[in-house]
Structure 1
Amino acid sequence: MKHLHLPLAAMLLLGAFLSVARAGDSAPGDLASVSPGRASTPVTAANMPAYLDEDLASKHADFSKFARRWIRNSNRHHVCSKSRMKIKRQPDGTYSAIYHRSDENDVVCTVKKSSAGTYTAVLRYKEIIYKTVAASPDACQTSDFLPSLVNRRIRIFKLKGGTWQ
Structure 2
Amino acid sequence: MKLVRKILTSFFICLLLCSAAYGSQPGSKQELDTFNNFAIGWVVKLNKSHIKGFSRMEITLQKDGSYLARYHAISPDSISCRVKKTSAKRKGLVGLLKYIETIYESTGKTPQEARANKFTPVKNIRITEIFSNSGKGWR
Question: Could you tell me the TM-score, scaled by structure 2's length?
Answer: 0.75
* Preserved CA contact (<8 Å) 2:97 2:128: yes
- The residue identity in structure 2 corresponding to 1:70 is W
1:72 to 44, 52, 57: 44
Larger radius of gyration: 1
* Preserved CA contact (<8 Å) 2:60 2:69: yes
- The residue identity in structure 1 corresponding to 2:37 is K
How many residues matched? 116
Map residues 82-121 of structure 1 onto 2, 5 A cutoff. 82-115=54-87, 116-121=90-95
Gaps of 5+ in 2: 1-21
Map residues 114-133 of structure 1 onto 2, 5 A cutoff. 114-115=86-87, 116-133=90-107
* Preserved CA contact (<8 Å) 1:72 1:104: no
How far off its partner does 1:68 sit? 1.3
* Preserved CA contact (<8 Å) 2:25 2:82: no
- The residue identity in structure 2 corresponding to 1:93 is G
Between the aligned residues of both structures, percent identity stands at 30
How far off its partner does 1:53 sit? 9.2
Map residues 5-20 of structure 1 onto 2, 5 A cutoff. none
Question: Could you tell me the TM-score, scaled by structure 1's length?
Answer: 0.64
Quote the Cα distance in structure 2 between the aligned partners of 1:160 and 1:53: 18
Quote the Cα distance in structure 2 between the aligned partners of 1:109 and 1:147: 24
Quote the Cα distance in structure 1 between the aligned partners of 2:96 and 2:48: 21
- The residue identity in structure 2 corresponding to 1:99 is Y
Query: Which residue in the other structure is 1:63 paired with?
Result: 35
Higher share of residues assigned strand: 2
Gaps of 5+ in 1: 1-49
Quote the Cα distance in structure 1 between the aligned partners of 2:44 and 2:96: 17
Query: Which residue in the other structure is 2:114 paired with?
Result: 140
SS of match in other structure, 1:164:
coil
- The residue identity in structure 2 corresponding to 1:119 is L
